[in-house]
A and B are shown apart, each in its own frame.
Chain A
Amino acid sequence: MDQHLEQSAHAGHAAHGEHPIDSVRTYALVLVVLLCLTIATALVATIDLGFFNIVVALGIAVTKMMFVIWFFMHVRYSTTLTRLVMVSGVLWLIILLTLAFADFATRGWLNVLG
């Protein structure tokens, strides 16, 4: 049992190694990208793209989130277990949103009040 635990701990090491330190340049570039995306999303919002206003705004927001969690939150160095937990968390959020939207969208179908 101890042997097994030790092995898995070591396997964990091998997966991510020691925690590398990013350069200032990396962080500065990420900041510049994030600021540019903010200006872009604010400008695009003033143009009428119909339905695509939402797509663009959320697309840029998701892109910004990816930059923040990947670089600033060091997810690119995180363990597989941490990533798995994050992805499963997002999955639960998607379940919450999907089921609620499905309920909301189909409520009128049976002509029952509620």
Chain B
Amino acid sequence: MDSEAHHLETLALREQFDTEDQQKDASTLGMWVFLITEMMFFGGMFLAYTLYRSTYPQVFGVASSSLNLPIGATNTCVLLLSSFTMAMAVRSGQLGKKRAVIWFLIITMLFGLTFLGIKAFEWTEKFQEHHVPALANFHLDGTPLQGQAKLFFSLYFAMTGLHALHMVVGVGIVLFIIMETARNKYSPKYYTPIDIAGLYWHFVDVVWIFLFPLFYLIDRHIGR
């Protein structure tokens, strides 16, 4: 009745699928469903940020302008570069160039770690400037409304922190893919995990693409 059900099982074509394309499409679709849940998750926080920013525009403007713009812009470029090398890694996977996959993934991982390093430096600055809302010495110059300023920095730490956590997970995933690639797990017929890891990495990049303007840019002209 169904001859295809008795095909030889491979990594690229598992028992439950008819064709390799069907399996690949199923994996891609599954990953996008996960990414949508991630989008809703971050969306809730973007919502909270936007509501408070519209309620307290003046203080949020002052606080936003106190962020380090050159560092934020640099980090954005680092992430975009990492997305490029990740796309190149997937492309090398499609072509079956094992060494290229490994090197592009290592560079991607290094860019990711660079991002985290710069982020750590930026957070250190916040501690030195007394911009950490949980500490007793919190103080933001330029406004008497310290409570609203605390709210801004709470959102700043929560959102950049959760983004950074996703970066840490991403670095772990890339490391895993590097090891699997080195063990000859993938081929031009089966590079789905590299592709899926790439989707995750690019998604985290997209989140930062929105975090950067919303936190660092929008009220820059007010605060000055």
Residues of A within 8 A of B (CB): 2, 5-6, 9, 12-13, 16, 18-19, 21-22, 24, 27-28, 30-31, 34-35, 38-39, 41-42, 45-49, 53-54, 57-58, 60-61, 64-65, 68-69, 71-74, 78-79, 81-82, 85-86, 89-90, 92-93, 96-97, 100-101, 104
Contacts and interface: CB of A to CB of B under 8 A. Distances in A.
A13 B21 contact: yes
Given A35-B77, A61-B213, A68-B209, 11 more contacts: A6-B4, A9-B19, A12-B25, A38-B73, A46-B224, A48-B221, A53-B219, A74-B195, A79-B28, A89-B39, A100-B47
A85 B33 contact: yes
A49 B221 contact: yes
Nearest to B221: A48
Contacts of A34: 80, 83
B96 to A, nearest CB: 11
Contacts of A82: 25, 28-29, 32
B29 A81 contact: yes
A47 to B, nearest CB: 7
B62 interface: no
Interface residues of B, number: 57
Contacts of A89: 32-33, 35-36, 39-40
Contacts, number: 146
B90 to A, nearest CB: 8
Contacts of B83: 31, 34, 68, 72
Contacts of B21: 12-13, 18
B101 interface: no
13 contacts: A2-B2, A6-B18, A9-B18, A30-B87, A38-B77, A46-B221, A57-B213, A61-B213, A65-B210, A72-B84, A73-B199, A82-B28, A100-B51
B47 A96 contact: yes
B221 A47 contact: yes
B22 interface: yes
Contact of A61 (B86, B210, B219, B221): B210
A41 B22 CA distance: 40
A113 B104 CA distance: 57
B206 interface: yes
B88 interface: yes
A95 B106 CA distance: 39
A85 B218 CA distance: 31
A30 to B, nearest CB: 7
